Structure 1
């Protein structure tokens, strides 16, 4: 299952319990040893202007959030009913179809699971590496149709993008650097250097007007999200918001996550509940403090569940 999130120590956002780094999962600080207070020294802290939600959440998002929580509890049949409801309501997220396939596979519904995986591919799912290692799908690994899908997905074009090939390549590299996450400080140092190179180039592309469609703005946003300054996170928020305005719902999540990260690195409470950080004593990823003045209604406008339903720890 993918918790969309992302491939964005992220990853993306969907629902399987053992998620890789992706575009719709909760974001965690990628630099070992970094903490919110320490980050204050990186750049002067200016106020980040308030932003209204730039687009409406995708249809069925509430059902997906509830289904994700049920999957974490092992209530696969109940989760599946909600994923189907969301898809029927017009939810076109590849991660929703993928998560439905996970629930089906766990329930022994192999044919239905394979059909749902094919649908996920049609909707843009491309992470074959994750699909092959996802324990929720282990019952499908020996099926000829599963093998055929693994072989077919890399040949499929990226969905909904006629944009800048260089940006898409850099986004793919950004995600590959985090799936799986580097295992040592030395490896992280190498990733950080590549991140800096990518950001430099993306800034040049932004300045030259090379970003044309939603996928371009989304790719740029994720690259800025993996920066290390308040300016980077502010740019990530702007890029995500523009992607959302141009029709990519993942941009809505990215704008919120970048806003939360900006606040966390300013030593202030986050708004939406996307950011987690390591607890030295428990060795768990715990939810960074959330601003109690932000209402559940405001979170809903951005496609987030009530604060009480957001997990306080990550496995």
Structure 2
């Protein structure tokens, strides 16, 4: 197979001389900030086309956040008819139907979600959205079948994913599920340490040629997306693009998100509008500034909604 190497970061250097010994910490910090802002990342064409029904699913998610459940199910139905077979989208549709008391429809969506990769039986048991279904024989039978179902590779992702890469990304995601209370700084410090260990192991697996499928490269990209350096985000973009080329349905979006995260880390406006930042004054996650020169047509090529439809806050 072709080995992937980390993207080379091109830095525009304003001065070839080392800082003078007498430079104050404030000046050094200012110089470091200027160097970061001058960083560039090579442009890239979309490595794939957006999956079918992607905009309908985004709009459905937005309406769910607004509590407009009656308007959501038609969008999931349209996305399904368009060919979108994401297990988590089908699961979300099941939750909406169950909330509305449409139990038969909810069970149909739940069956679809499991057929298309949803495997979190423990969450299904405690998800309050599904409370109206828990006593149904069909629900109990579905829960009993999940442990015997094989691990699901994303449609088009190549199948046969590397189990260690999948385990690493599962651990990455588990670390980011909210605990019983707020995530404390100490908790985030522990997560950061585990993130570093995961990136190191993923690098070793990539060097050994362990990544073969779109699912493998997507898992590796997601681990690097949770890094903390420009190099981490550049590599995440490269790995996500390879996942997209190999057919992973979320590879294209993750490529755009890694690009945006690189720009945010460099102190530059993001291109697409995938990244949010925490505002200490508001206590909310707000959309990070977006480059006004990037058109909605360009966003569409990357599976990102029009600027006017991007949520201002999370």
Is the shorter-chain TM-score for this pair beyond 0.5, marking a shared fold?
yes
Q: Do the aligned partners of residues 127 and 256 (structure 1) sit closer, same or farther apart at CA in structure 2, a change above 3 Å counting?
A: farther
Q: Do the aligned partners of residues 115 and 196 (structure 1) sit closer, same or farther apart at CA in structure 2, a change above 3 Å counting?
A: same
Query: Which residue pairs with 2:145 in the alignment?
Result: 152
Query: Which residue pairs with 2:13 in the alignment?
Result: none
Unaligned runs of 5+ in 1: 1-36
User: Among 75, 85, 89, which residue is 1:82 paired with?
Assistant: 75
CA distance in 2, matches of 1:78, 1:172: 32
Query: Which residue pairs with 1:121 in the alignment?
Result: 114
CA distance in 2, matches of 1:299, 1:43: 25
Indicate the SS of the match to 1:313. coil
Per-residue deviation, residues 203-232 of structure 1 (Å, max 9, x unmatched) = 122222221001110110010011111110
Matches of residues 142-291 of structure 1 in structure 2 within 5 Å?
142-160=135-153, 161-180=159-178, 183-291=183-291
Query: Which residue pairs with 1:33 in the alignment?
Result: none
Contact 1:222 1:236 (8 Å CA) reproduced = yes
TM-score relative to the length of structure 2: 0.82
Q: Do the aligned partners of residues 112 and 40 (structure 1) sit closer, same or farther apart at CA in structure 2, a change above 3 Å counting?
A: farther
Per-residue deviation, residues 109-157 of structure 1 (Å, max 9, x unmatched) = 1121012111111111123344344443332234343344334334422
Indicate the SS of the match to 2:39. coil
Q: Do the aligned partners of residues 151 and 226 (structure 1) sit closer, same or farther apart at CA in structure 2, a change above 3 Å counting?
A: farther
Matches of residues 56-67 of structure 1 in structure 2 within 5 Å?
56-67=49-60
Unaligned runs of 5+ in 2: 1-29, 154-158
Q: Do the aligned partners of residues 138 and 273 (structure 1) sit closer, same or farther apart at CA in structure 2, a change above 3 Å counting?
A: farther
Q: What's the offset of the Cα at 1:89?
A: 1.2
CA distance in 2, matches of 1:133, 1:300: 36
* Backbone CA RMSD of aligned residues: 2.3
Q: What's the offset of the Cα at 1:52?
A: 1.1
Query: Which residue pairs with 2:98 in the alignment?
Result: 105
The structure having more radius of gyration, on CA atoms, is: 2
Q: Do the aligned partners of residues 198 and 67 (structure 1) sit closer, same or farther apart at CA in structure 2, a change above 3 Å counting?
A: same
Q: What's the offset of the Cα at 1:63?
A: 1.8
Q: What's the offset of the Cα at 1:106?
A: 1.8
Q: What's the offset of the Cα at 1:287?
A: 0.8
| Greater mean deviation of Cα atoms: 146-155 or 231-240 | 146-155
CA distance in 1, matches of 2:118, 2:227: 25
